[in-house]
């Protein structure tokens, strides 16, 4: 996740005009590569968290690079594999921390596939015989895509397929700005107040 933060920071410097190759087409391609790598980190983080189960089901997992297939295969094994963006809710008198789900403004699973495929189109040299524009329509501004990725990852929940343990990932620890994880377990319905 530290690498994700660095890549998004570089993309932000390009969108603010603080960094450039001197060629707008190269800048565009550079940003596309960074966004694609960020998305791969997100997908591979989900794989790593469930590596044993994923590897047992897919002997060729080391060659999975197509976003849609990778996400579909992960979802078959674990319907809740995709990071769930959350925000801090409250702490009970007994010290139990509650988090609320973020409802919008983040990179959804469908957004992920769309952006990945769009970024992938820049990986090839432009064909001079095509009618396609040399620049790809990203459907949203790069600034908005970065905002959605940050909305997904700022604080998110990772669930595991084979155990009740959960991880709350926070992208910026107040003391040093580093990524950190808190492990925990969801409360069962029976142990929740008012149940």
Instruction: Give the number of domains in the chain.
Output: 1
Give the separation between CA 138 and CA 148, rounded to whole angstroms.
13
What is d(CA 8, CA 175) in angstroms, rounded to the nearest whole number? 21
Low-confidence stretches of the chain (pLDDT < 70) are: 47-65, 134-135, 186-195
Note down the domain range covering 69.
2-191
Length of the chain: 195
pLDDT for the residue numbered 162: 73
65, 24 Cβ separation under 8 angstroms: no
Q: What is the per-residue pLDDT for 193?
A: 43
The bridge status of strand 166-170 relative to strand 97-101 is unpaired
Burial code of 29-66, b = ≥16 C-beta within 10 A, e = fewer?
bbbbebbbebbbbbbebbbebbeebbeeebeeeeebee
Residue 191: the pLDDT is 46
pTM over 0.75: yes
pLDDT one-digit tens code per residue, 160-188: 777 778 889 999 988 999 999 988 876 66
């Amino acid at each position: 996740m530290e690498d994700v933060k660095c890549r998004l920071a570089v993309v932000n410097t390009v969108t603010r005009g603080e960094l450039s190759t001197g060629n707008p087409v190269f800048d565009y391609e550079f940003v596309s590569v960074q966004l694609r790598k960020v998305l791969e980190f997100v997908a591979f983080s989900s794989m790593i968290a469930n590596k044993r189960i994923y590897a047992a089901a897919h002997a060729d997992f080391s060659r999975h690079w197509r976003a849609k297939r990778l996400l579909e295969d992960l979802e078959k094994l674990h319907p809740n594999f995709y990071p769930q963006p959350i925000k801090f809710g409250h702490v009970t008198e007994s010290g139990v921390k509650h988090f609320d789900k973020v409802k919008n403004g983040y990179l959804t699973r469908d957004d992920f596939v769309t952006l990945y495929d769009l970024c992938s189109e820049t990986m090839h040299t432009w064909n001079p015989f095509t009618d396609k524009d040399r620049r790809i329509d990203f459907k949203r501004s790069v600034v908005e895509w970065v905002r959605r990725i940050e909305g997904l990852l700022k604080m998110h929940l990772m669930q595991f397929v084979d155990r009740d343990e959960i991880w709350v990932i926070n992208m910026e620890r107040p003391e040093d700005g580093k990524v950190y994880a808190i492990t925990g377990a969801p409360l069962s319905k029976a142990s929740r107040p008012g149940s």
